[in-house]
Structure 1
Amino acid sequence: MDLCSETARRHAVLSVAPMLEWTDRHFRYFLRLLTKHTLLYTEMVTCGALLHGDVAQILAFDARERPLVLQLAGSDPRQLARAVRIADAWGFTAYNLNVGCPSDRVQEGRFGACLMREPERVAELVAAMRAVTRLPVTVKCRIGVDERDRYDDLAAFVATVAQGGCDTFIVHARKAWLKGLSPKENRTVPPLRYEFVHRLKRDFPGLTIVLNGGVDSLDQAAAHLDRVDGVMIGRAAYHNPYLLAEADRRFFGGRRPPPSREDVLRAYLPYVRKQLAAGVRLHAMTRHLLGLYHGQPGARRWRRHLSAAGSRADAGIEVLTAWLARQEAVDGGGANVV
């Protein structure tokens, strides 16, 4: 295993899922103030967007966001290879091929979860991507689609795609219904079948298997790590980002105590100032902070403060500094009382 693959594998012990409109560069930078080692993912990027759009706008990120995986979606080997060639100059940690999204728009482009019906094509896509980069190429998939939901179907898919050179599979432990359910319903209605993912690791011990779906705490992640190589947390990390504050100590050998919520906000201020100076609206950043005080007394006050003050067109850094000043007046700045 080369250094690039080993780095990606080590950080894959815990990761945050790619989520459209959520895991943008502002949110990823914010998460890095909570965890230095958890593997982060971009939002899904389609080949068409990358090949015909503003490359810098799509791919640019702060170096402190690494380790960072670029998730790509496509069904044409040549286009995916071109996309990887473009992205290779930007310093990502790895590439991930989306074979799990069930939305109608994605299906119309013949990528996402519908590709689970074509394992040979997925193997071809992986091989085309690997041919033009030294970085690892991984696949994110479901346990099945529609009536193709037996464990044997999943195992056959993994075995075929592995022949294309993929040695890491991130498996959402729900199947996807390609018709009849919305993307949101596909995240909750099909039952979780963790036993499929656990068995996959037993049957393919040489592959890196990462479990995704329904995990909303570090305790749950730790329990799964007895049976798989990694765990990916999705919406729970967005709605309650502070749950990641203990991630480095629990999973990556870190020794520093977790920062307070106020420490995180203070550390975020220089980034916010820089982005405001570049013309980014404050709301583009603060919308990702609504869950910072999740479960804490007064969390509603925090959300109201951000929603009312942070959404104004002329909102500036004072929205956050005013909150911090209030916290210092209440408790001296050292506690998480809101």
Structure 2
Amino acid sequence: MTKAWRGPAVSLETARRFSIAPMMDWTDRHCRQLHRLLSRHSLLFTEMVTSGAIVHGDAARHLRYDEAVEHPIALQIGGSDPAELAQAIRIANDFGYDEINLNVGCPSDRVQSGKFGACLMAEPDLVAECVRAMRDATDRPITVKCRIGIDDQDTEESLDRFADKMAEAGVAALYVHARKAWLQGLSPKENRTIPPLDYPRVYRLRQRMAPLPTMINGGIETLEAAEAHLEHMDGVMLGRAAYHNPMLLAEVDRRFFGAEVERLDLLQIMTAMASYAEVQLGQGQRLNNIARHMLGLANGRPGARQFRQILSVDACRPKAGPEVFMHALSVVEDRAEAVAS
């Protein structure tokens, strides 16, 4: 039986105003725990999970999350077989995600070899078939995350055609990374920086697709830049900036959602994450798997380098516990007192 949809703190449509991008090997449930602590209203995404991993693997391991904390949350899924995607979605229904997002933007070699991700931008008809199959398998909204094009595609003609196919298939929203993906000649890392950003192309797409919600992603480094994009778009999606400098998320609820919320300080965040880590360690998790997401919390503060070192090194030691977090915090606090005196 499908679990009752408990619902997010804000409506899904509102949450899309500011979202944190799905990032492989980064936005796991420990990362999302931290991000939700910093922002209650942002839309969180899982890492991409392939349809095959859900159907043929340990679905619970891939799909479980903290239902009491992580909403609003979207599951990002990768695949190109409509029947398998539908089967995966039926399994995912039991986990109560707020949104299901199909990855049509990842340029990695592993994704290409599996015929999903950005290479699917060359096959909009197949993607549309996948979207229809996914919609038939759930009552949750199906969305797509894509690039503005791949390789030698004309980004005006090909992106419009792709978006039209998605709209016809009934997607609830589009998330567009404002770069091409060069599948031939560039590594996945190079694809994050070398292809030039083309924000005006995404703005034009949003105008053309309205009222279909269209969000922009790619190269957005500050909240000021995100606010500027919102003059043209329905929402913004931050990726690496939010991950490497997580404290910027502490301002998101106030600036993007008009929420009167307490801005947590570093002491409150580290204390909360220490409590979370204690529970997770009791369930067999390792401290370094949590600590690695916290390295940027003290960026710009005296003692930040030692803070990162403690979390990077001490958290990997055998039997490391939550006291590592409090030790890292004490270094920053001691340095702050020294500077103030």
Aligned partner letter, 1:18: P
One of 4, 11, 17 as aligned partner of 1:13: 17
- Larger deviation: 218-227 or 249-258? 249-258
Could you say which residue in structure 2 is the equivalent of 1:111?
116
| Corresponding residue SS for 1:95 | strand
- 1:251 and 2:256 equivalent? yes
Deviation of 1:313 (Å): 2.3
TM-score by length of 1: 0.94
RMSD: 2.0
Q: TM-score, normalised by structure 2?
A: 0.93
Name the SS of the counterpart of 2:182 in structure 1.
Answer: coil
Tell me, yes or no, if the aligned pair for 2:306 and 2:331 is still in contact at 8 Å: no
The aligned counterpart of 2:311 is: 306
Report the equivalent of 2:3: none
Which residue of the other structure, out of 67, 71, 78, is the alignment partner of 2:76? 71
1:240 corresponds in structure 2 to 245
Per-residue CA deviations over 1:150-179 (Å, capped at 9, x if unaligned) read 212111110011111113110000001111
Paired letter, 2:111: V
CA distance in 1, matches of 2:172, 2:101: 12
Secondary structure, aligned partner of 2:250: helix
Residue from 20, 23, 38 that aligns with 1:34: 38
Deviation at 1:324, TM superposition (A): 3.8
- Corresponding residue number in structure 1 for 2:289: 284
Distance 2:207 2:335 in 1: 53
Displacement of 1:52 in angstroms is 1.2
Q: CA deviation at 1:217?
A: 1.0
Secondary structure, counterpart of 1:309 in structure 2: helix
Deviation per residue, 1:83-110 (Å, 9 max, x gap)? 0000011011100000001111111111
Match of 1:174 in 2: 179
Determine the structure 2 residue equivalent to 1:129.
134
Which residue type is aligned with residue 198 of structure 1?
Y
Deviation at 1:326, TM superposition (A): 4.9
Q: Determine the structure 2 residue equivalent to 1:209.
A: 214
- 1:330 deviates by 6.1
Q: Distance in 2 between matches of 1:109 and 1:295?
A: 41
**Equivalent residue pairs, number:** 333
Residue in 1 that maps onto 2:52: 48
* Contact 2:274 2:322 survives alignment (8 Å): yes
Contact residue 4 and residue 136 of structure 1 kept, 8 A: no
Q: Is the 8 A contact 1:16 1:237 kept in 2?
A: yes
For residues 215 and 7 of structure 2, what CA distance do their matches in structure 1 show?
A: 18
Which letter does structure 2 place at the counterpart of 1:286? A
Say if 1:19 and 1:308 are closer, same or farther in 2 by CA, change over 3 A: same
| CA distance in structure 2 between the partners assigned to 1:126 and 1:4 by the alignment | 23
CA shift, 1:320, in A, is 1.4
Look up the SS of the partner of 2:11 in the other structure: helix
Map of 1:83 onto structure 2: 88
CA separation of 1:336 and 1:50: change in aligned 2, threshold 3 A: farther
User: 1:113, 1:326 → 2: CA distance?
Assistant: 44
1:221-250 Cα deviation digits (max 9, x unpaired):
100001000000010111000010000001
Aligned partners of 2:303 and 2:332 also within 8 Å: no
**Bigger mean CA deviation after superposition, 260-269 or 129-138:** 260-269
Query: C-alpha displacement at 1:295, in angstroms?
Result: 2.2
Distance (whole Å) between structure 1 residues aligned to residue 336 and residue 257 of structure 2: 32
What is the CA deviation profile of residues 131-151 of structure 1, one whole-angstrom value per residue up to 9, with x for unaligned ones?
A: 111110000000001111321
Instruction: Compute the displacement of 1:331 (Å).
Output: 5.9
Q: 1:130 touches 1:137 (CA, 8 Å); kept in 2? A: yes
Structure 2: tracts of 5 or more residues without a match: 1-5
Residue among 193, 198, 201 paired with 2:203: 198
Residues 169 and 299 (structure 1 numbering): CA distance in 2 closer, same or farther, change over 3 Å? same
